[in-house]
Structures are given as C-alpha cells and as structure tokens.
Amino acid sequence: MRLFILISIIMSNQDKKDFAKHITKYLSEYLPHERNLSPNTIVAYRDAFVLFIDFMKIIKNKPVQNIGMSDLNKENINAFLSWIVSARNCSIATSNYRLAALLSFVRYVQYIDIGKLSQWQEVLSIQPKKEAGRTLNYLTVDGIKLLLEQPDITTVSGRRHLAILSLLYDTGARVQELADLTIGSLRISSQPYTVRIVGKGRKIRIVPLMNEQVEILKTYIADYRLENIDDTAIPLFFNNRREKLSRAGITYILLTYASQARIINDKIIPAVLSCHSIRHSKAMHLLQAGVNLVYIRDILGHTSIQTTDIYARSDSKAKREALQKAYIDVSPSTGVCGQWETDNNLRNWLKGLQK
C-alpha cells in the first residue's frame, strides 16, 4: 500500500513537471520554429494558457505549481470556456479562439504523451460554439470624414494622430499591423506609393497609398525628422520612449477623437467603436465604390474570398440598388390617383352605393 502511494506521488510530480515542460517547449520551440507562427499569434496562444492557469487557481483552487497534464481534460476545458464567457464577459468568438489554442497544444502533445491518448481524444472532440449572426460595425463615409476632421493639425501631436488614423483607414490594416509598421515599410519617395504590411502568419501584402495620404505621412515624417534615419527598422509610430505604439495606445487615440466627433453628430459615430470598425469601414466603402471583392481581399490580407464576402452580404445599400436595377414592374398600378378618382362614371356609381 505504501509502495502504491509512493508511486502515485512520483507520477503526480512527474505530471506537474511535464505540464510546465511541454508548454514551454510548445511556445518557445514548436510554434515559432516548426509552425513558423508570428510573434503576435504566439502571444495570443500564450494568453489562452495564462487564462486557463487563472481559471484553475480561481475556480479549481489549484495554483500553477500543482497543475499537471491530467488537468488538461475535457471537463476542465469545457468549464474554462464557460467561465471566460460568464465571468470575464468574453464573446463566443474569443472563447473559440482560446479553445483553438488549447486544441493546438493537445494535437502537439498527443504524440509525446501517448499514455494519455484517450484523454487527448476526448479533448479533441470539443467543438467550437456557434456564434449568433452579427452585423458589421462600421462608419459611413461621412462618419470617417467627421472623425478625421477632429485632430488639430495646427499642432505636431494633432498631425501625428491624423497620420495614424488616416493610415489605419486608407490601408484597412489591423491595429497590430499598423503598430508593427516601420520606416522601411513605406515607399513614398516616388510613385507608385505603397506600404508593405506584414499580416497574420507573417504574410506580406503591398497596399497602394493615395497622394493625399502620402502628403499627411510626409508632414508627419518631417515633424519627427524621420526622413534621414538610416535604421529603417525603427517603428513608424512610437511613444515617448521611442517604442512602437501598442494596440491599446492606438485604440485610445481613436476613441478620444470618436468622442469628440460624437458630440458634433452622434448619429454617424457609433456608440461602440474599435480599430477593427475602421477596417470594416474601408472594406464597405471600397465595395460600395464598385471595387471587386478580389481586390478588397488582397488589400485586407484575407486568405479566402469567402472571408471578404461578409461585406457583400452585409451591404444592404448595395443589395437594394441591385434589386432596383433588376426590378421588373409586374404589379398593378399603385399611383396616387386610383381609377375611381379619374373615371367620373365610376365615381358616380360608387357614390350611388351610399344612397
């Protein structure tokens, strides 16, 4: 009996050590080198495990040093997903992202820890939750114009903020993609003007820049004396410590000017706004201007045209105009004047019914 207890303790300790060892190797070696994932994606995967560890400590009363591979089971993961939705107010989409990170780790570890293959198969059977249909949150063209009119361009900081917001809109970039831009990302010394954006999965796309946008960028570059810098790897937009702006920093700038614009006209500035709303706005405006979905896909950096197709499905104005163009009038006349109003004999007959 004592031998059995001793073996159980040894196996439990090994289980805890394996949890730390496998996660460390997964995040530091497997994802960056074998999967070639971008640093931003690895951070997102890491955050999923940080949340899972928090869940185990808060709900299961199990600190990180006591968590083992056996704790990464179907029951705990389902409870964890419910917890981040109910207790942390995460969306179903966020819950599915966290699940995807955990499932990726389990697929990796099932070939290493074969002794728990049955446990891994149970975990891999967990399905993502279906999301309710969502409407895209975007600004109209007038809304974007009002937003971009808010920075005070008589000041250096105002011109900097205008450069950030206008580039966010004109490129349709994700907020992290904008934060990752460097001086070398721009090609504005001669036409055609372009910006080189590194997107998800380290995929690179070249997005054209309009003359007006280039003038705003050149003014910003002159203000901060960036035109003669040899190190093209420095961030294009940075904070007071010369570090690249964070996503939170860019979001703060957006929300500050959105609040100002909302005071002027709250009907065209949504109450809930994010940097991704600006990306949606660019896509919708390109679609409404008649730009082919394939080109919009390339500008946004979507892998599949099916992802971009969400804008076509959401554009009620385009749907209405298409229906109007294709409409064939087969209905009876519904003009202002009915037949009884223009036919005197019929009118007299109808009046006679009242006698």
- Which residues sit opposite 206 in a β-bridge? 196
Q: Cα separations (Å) of 161 from 175, 235, 282?
A: 14, 15, 18
| Catalytic-role residue among 46, 196, 218, 276 | 276
CA distance 334 to 341: 13
Q: Which residues contact 139 (CB under 8 A, 6 or more apart)?
A: 147, 268, 269, 270, 273, 277, 278, 281
| Catalytic-role residue among 22, 98, 262, 279 | 279
Nearest to 170 by CA among 181, 158, 154: 181
Tell me, yes or no, if 320 is annotated catalytic: no
For every residue of 167-215, DSSP letters joined together read HHHHHT--HHHHHT-BGGGEE-SSSSPEEEEE-GGG-EEEEE--HHHHH
CA distance 211 to 284: 21
Query: Is there a contact between 247 and 135 (Cβ–Cβ < 8 Å)?
Result: no
Tell me, yes or no, if 161 is annotated catalytic: no
CA distance 143 to 197: 25
Q: Is 116 exposed, middle or buried (0-12, 13-18, 19+ CB in 10 A)?
A: buried
Tell me, yes or no, if 45 is annotated catalytic: no
User: Residue with structure tokens 């805890």?
Assistant: 16
Tell me, yes or no, if 174 is annotated catalytic: yes
| Catalytic-role residue among 22, 159, 160, 174 | 174
| Catalytic-role residue among 116, 161, 282, 302 | 302
For every residue of 121-143, DSSP letters joined together read HHHHTPPPPPPPP-------HHH
| Catalytic-role residue among 26, 169, 220, 311 | 311
| Catalytic-role residue among 200, 218, 244, 247 | 200
Rounded to whole angstroms, the maximal C-alpha distance in the chain is 111
Question: Active-site positions?
Answer: 174, 200, 276, 279, 302, 311
